[in-house]
């Protein structure tokens, strides 16, 4: 028996997004999957159909406002969208351009949520994938700027508070902190419309992104990275009826990585992880593992 009408999954070509699509498929009448990589998306959609799901695919660039609106309209046209699992994003190793990281990870998320919020009718759930990086220490003034990423002066204002240019790990942390804040900021509006919104912060999973991540199994309390399916299972829980009272929250799914960094790591490693603004300006110690 299906519980959702239409579930939309971004970044569904691989990794957490694809695992989320497989997780949501059995409880969804129709899946709308999207990714910027059209070829990989087609392969993923083929596998989802073979699993018995009613799948509709759409290659979109979420950094393009026209594509975002087209996606939201397509979801509405398929029936009545019930779930938005927003898993798309850029990792620090993919670009040195801080503005690009912020545009894809944060500004696109704000545009996406705007587009779907206009189509709330009650009962919908949005889950956005953030990151453990959002928990790193940033200047207090940053949050007040990150909550309004679509402001015309957003990037210049942010640049006056923290120098993120050419520092992709810092830009990534900023972008994912902003994702968490967007979900908190919108929780009341969505709640008044009978909908929920929250975020999930992985601390490292066995994905293409993680292949370039310095986070290793030994940097977690459980001694390994997560599988994409383990992150997807939390997304599945948050979109289901058992999480009816969960909204405006972030769920940290890191295998105890943050506990390891803040309580069990040596002082130098702990300080390097905690201080996002400073860590890229200091030479790495040979035995230091940096969490993106």
Q: Give the tens place of pLDDT for each residue, 12-38.
A: 999 999 999 999 999 999 999 999 999
**Matching residue, tokens 């994702």:** 179
Q: What pLDDT does 280 receive?
A: 57
Whole-number Å distance between alpha carbons of 75 and 70: 9
Q: Quick check: pTM over 0.85? A: yes
Determine the average pLDDT of the residues in 191-217. Answer: 79
pLDDT > 80? residue 279: no
Percent share of the chain, pLDDT over 90: 77
pLDDT in tens, 246-277: 999 999 999 999 998 888 888 888 888 888 88
Q: Does domain 4-255 have CATH number 3.40.50.720?
A: yes
CA gap 203, 227 in Å, rounded: 11
Neighbours of 156 (CB within 10 A): 9
What residues pair up with 194 in beta bridges, in sequence order? none
Kindly tell me if the per-residue pLDDT of 44 is higher than 90. Answer: yes
Tell me if 225 sits within 8 A of 15, measured CB to CB: no
Q: What pLDDT digit, counting tens, does each position of 45-88 carry?
A: 999 999 999 999 999 999 999 999 999 999 999 988 899 999 99
Does position 288 have pLDDT exceeding 60, yes or no? no
Integer CA distances (angstroms), 130 to 27, 203, 258, in order: 24, 10, 14
């Amino acid at each position: 028996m299906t519980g959702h009408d239409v579930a939309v999954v971004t970044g569904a070509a691989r990794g957490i997004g694809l695992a989320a699509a497989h997780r949501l498929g059995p409880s969804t009448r129709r899946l709308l999957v999207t990714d910027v990589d059209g070829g990989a998306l087609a392969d993923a959609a083929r596998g989802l159909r073979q699993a018995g799901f009613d799948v509709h695919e759409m290659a979109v660039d979420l950094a393009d406002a026209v594509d975002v609106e087209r996606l939201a309209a397509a979801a509405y046209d398929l029936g009545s969208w019930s779930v938005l699992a927003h898993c798309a994003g850029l990792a620090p190793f993919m670009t040195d351009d801080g503005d690009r990281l912020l545009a894809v990870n944060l500004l696109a998320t704000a545009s996406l949520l705007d587009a779907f919020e206009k189509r709330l009718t009650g009962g919908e759930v949005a889950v956005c994938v953030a990151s453990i990086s959002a928990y790193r220490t940033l200047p207090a003034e940053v949050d007040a700027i990150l909550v309004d990423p679509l402001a015309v002066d957003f990037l210049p204002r942010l640049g006056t508070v923290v120098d993120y240019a050419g520092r992709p790990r810092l830009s990534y942390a900023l972008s994912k902190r902003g994702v968490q804040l967007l979900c908190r900021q919108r929780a009341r509006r969505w709640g008044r419309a009978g909908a929920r919104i929250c975020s999930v912060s992985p601390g490292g999973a066995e994905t293409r992104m993680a292949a370039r991540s310095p986070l290793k199994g030994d940097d977690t309390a459980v001694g390994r990275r997560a599988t994409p399916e383990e992150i997807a299972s939390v997304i599945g829980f948050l979109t289901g009826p058992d999480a009816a009272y969960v909204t405006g929250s972030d769920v940290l799914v890191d295998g105890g990585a943050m506990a390891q960094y803040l309580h069990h790591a040596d002082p130098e490693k702990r300080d390097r992880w905690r201080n996002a603004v400073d860590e890229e300006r200091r030479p790495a110690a040979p035995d230091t593992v940096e969490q993106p």
